Amino acid sequence: MKWSACMVLIGALVLMSCGKRTQTSTEAPEAVNDTGVEASEEMVSPSAEGPTASVIIGRIASLWTDTSTASEATPACLEFPCEAKVEILAIEQMGSSYHGQFEAGTIQLAHFIFSLAPTQDILPELNITLPGLKEGDLFRAQVNYREHGPLQIGSYERLEQ
């Protein structure tokens, strides 16, 4: 009897010492945002484990034409605008490749891979439908930085102003 009680006690101690360890986490800093646009509270600081793309809130400041990027993009860029000057209003998520290459409050050249036109009719094979953007439109987008050239924007969503 003493032997089995001792074994139960040892087993209970082993189980308690093998329990989950919880790590304390620090809260992420607030998203870079000085324009009143609500930024996501998810990930806002660089992470070596996270996605390489950053997520921004931006506004189309003006359209910009650069025919040199058309050959590396979709055929839609031969007929529709794919470049714009983008005012970065907030950085919601800094991807693992972000090292301060752009900041909120700046205007950056951007290449929209699938064009600034609505994609439903011009790229019906695309898995997502992009609504198109025009000057003054507010949007949230995944941004990839290229060492030489404009920011690269693939998917985006238009936001209400």
**Which tens digits make up the pLDDT trace of 114-161?**
999 999 988 888 898 999 999 999 999 999 887 778 899 999 999 998
d(CA 57, CA 160): 12
Q: What is the pLDDT of residue 1?
A: 53
Report whether 120 contacts 129 (CB < 8 A): yes
Which amino acid would we find at residue 39?
Answer: A
Lowest mean pLDDT among 21-25, 74-78, 97-101, 125-129: 21-25
pTM: 0.66
d(CA 115, CA 118): 8
What's phi and psi for 33, nearest 5 deg? -165, 110
Check whether 51 has a pLDDT greater than 80.
no
d(CA 27, CA 14): 33
Check whether 49 has a pLDDT greater than 50.
no
**What's the maximum distance between 2 C-alpha atoms anywhere in the chain?**
87
In three-state secondary structure terms, 149 is coil
- Dihedral of CA atoms 34, 37, 41, 43 in degrees, nearest 10, equals -70
Helical ranges in the chain per DSSP H: 2-17, 119-122
Check whether 87 has a pLDDT greater than 60.
yes
Task: Name the residue with tokens 């189980």.
Answer: 15
